[in-house]
Amino acid sequence: MTGKIGHLELVVLMTLTIVGTAFVELPRYMAMRAEQSGWISVALGALGGLIVVFVLCWLARRFPGKTLVGYAEAILGRPLGKLVSIAFATLLLVIAGMLIREFAYTIIIATQPMTPDSLLVAVFVLLVAYQIYWGLEVIARVAVTFLPYIFISPVLVTFGTLGYVKLGRYLPLLGTGLGPVLKASFYASMYYSEMVLAAMILPRVRACTPARTRRALILALGLAVPPLTAVTASCIGVFGPSETSRLVSPALELARLVTFGESVQRMEALFVVFWMLAAMVKIGIFTWSSIEAIAETLGLVNYRALIPGGSLLLYLLAMLPENIWDEQAERGAMVKIMPYVLVGLPLLLALLAWVTKKKGAEASES
């Protein structure tokens, strides 16, 4: 193992980072904010991701071979750069904890209400730790292996429930006015801006040139938009906006409606498995990036020493909210800061680099 990944793997990793757990809850948040136009917001939100892609590519060209930690140290100076990196890494870990808990909740509510949260969260954390132990290359290969299955589920769910869609539910288009739709797309852009994690991965991509990187990241974004938009649109078409915002996981309810004839029913278990795979990759990438960032900041050659402590922290972070209401409050608070950090941090670094005319080592290392 070289610890390096190819461009295809970069694309898949980034797509799954965006899509990951989004099926489960995104339709609900969109219907809550933009009602029947929620699906438009999902598509519009991709613009936020595009900003991240361009900023990252600009930074990567200016500071070749460096990660976000490297950028921060080069631009802000070592002490401040390290501080920012640690803060960033902490945020990633908090997000990962939140994602684990949210996902565990959905599974518990929908399929096994007798299982204690802690057990499911612990299993998730162990799996994440195992992935990270083997490193980025393994996470990437897992992602590539399962990508087709993960992408089949939105296709099946969308086409399998076409018969329940009532087109009137989408009307009037933009009935809420443009304001709520844009606000909702700002929220959706949070999912797309998670592409910022590419900043931790780029130096590990084989034969990485700026043009190819940009193409790969835009492709990843382009792959993530259709399934998310389609699933949100079918939730709204099938349930209507008010029922969609009432359901804990509209996409899962959607999956429960999918039947093929009399014999193929109750397919939701299959979908839960697919979504779990996607969630594993997403949470794995978040945690890996966090631990990698900490290791680099501290100057560790190998991050494996951080895995036990990091996993324990991840578990504690995931178990921090006492119940789903606390968890929703945590998400509410995170939502207020996440877009600013995920989009704002690279943007700020790029602006500072541009103003101070700082550049990385010109010597091109691959």
Partner 1 sequence: MSRRCLLRLAAVGLICALAPVATGCYDRVEVEDLAYILAVGFDLAPTGDIEVISQIALPANSEGGGGGGGGGGGGAGGMPVSVAVATGKTAMEAFRHLAQASSKRPFWGQARVVVFGEALARRGLGPVLDILSRNYETRRLMYVMVCPGRAHDILTARPEIESMPALLLSGLEQMATFHSLAARTTLHDFLISVGAAGNEAFAARVMLEKQMTEIKSGTDKNEKTQLRIDGCGVFFQDHLVGWLDGPTTRGLLWLRGEADSGVISIDDPASGIKGSIEVTRASSEIAAAVDPNDLANTRFTVRIRGVGRLTEEYCGPDVARRETVNLIDQLAANEIKAEAQAAIAALQGELRSDVIGLGEKVRERLSNAAWDAVKAKWPDYFPKVKVEVNVDFKVSRHGMTLGRLTPDVQR
Residue ranges binding partner 1 (CB under 8 A): 35-36, 109-115, 119, 164, 168, 171-172, 175-177, 239-240, 242-243, 246, 253, 256-257, 259, 266
Closest contact distance (angstroms) between CB of 216 and partner 1 is 39
Measured from the CB atom, is 104 or 198 closer to partner 1? Answer: 104
CB nearer to partner 1: pick between 114 and 301: 114
**Closer residue to partner 1 in complex, CB, 257/334:** 257
On the 0-12 / 13-18 / 19+ scale of CB atoms within 10 A, 182 is: middle
Q: How far is the CB of 288 from partner 1 (least distance, A)?
A: 24
CB of 114 to partner 1, least distance (A): 5
- Cβ atoms of 67 and 200 within 8 Å: the answer is yes
Beta carbon of residue 247, minimum distance to partner 1 (angstroms, whole number) = 8
Closest CB to partner 1 among residues 23, 63: 23
For the chain, report the end-to-end CA distance as a whole number of angstroms: 17
- In whole angstroms, what is the distance from residue 292 CA to residue 96 CA? 14
Smallest separation, CB 235 to partner 1 (Å):
12
The CB-of-107 to partner 1 minimum distance in angstroms stands at 11
Which residue's CB is nearer to partner 1, number 110 or number 147?
A: 110
Nearer to partner 1, 127 or 348 (CB): 127
CB neighbour list of residue 354: distance below 8 Å, 6 or more residues apart: none
